[in-house]
Amino acid sequence: MRGYHDIGGDEAGPIPIVELPWLHWEKQVEAIRNLLGDGTRRMMSLDELRRGFESFGEDKYKKLSFYRRRLESVVDIMIEKGVFSREEFDREAEAVRGRWTPPDACWE
């Protein structure tokens, strides 16, 4: 039985061959994922990451972008492994939001 995330073989039309630039936060997500899975740390495997986002449920999976799915999966796995709690993560995320200046406001 195919999962909602398995779109191989579905009719989807031509694939656009366009090299899109990475957004800064996308690079950061990929760097964090690479560090957590490198040969020194080995805190998370690519298989765990994939299991994480493939278990989101169809609505959440389809709503999130590729890198957002990766980010959410990393957070979920680190919580699952006891690296930090959901409360600790939410508290720190809120603190960071409080210090963040939106890019448009930087030029005012």
pLDDT tens readout for residues 27-69 = 999 999 999 998 888 999 999 999 999 999 989 999 999 999 9
Q: Note the pTM of the prediction, 2 decimals.
A: 0.77
Give rounded-to-5 percent helix, strand, coil for the chain: 55, 0, 45
Average pLDDT value over all residues in the chain: 87
pLDDT tier for residue 107 given thresholds of 50, 70 and 90: very low
DSSP 56-106: S-HHHHHHS-HHHHHHHHHHHHHHHTTSS-HHHHHHHHHHHHHH---GGGG
Instruction: Map out the domains of the chain as residue ranges.
Output: 24-96
Task: Quote the Cα angle for 11-46-19, to 5°.
Answer: 50
CATH of 24-96, one of 1.10.472.20, 3.40.50.2020, 3.90.1300.10, 2.40.50.140: 1.10.472.20
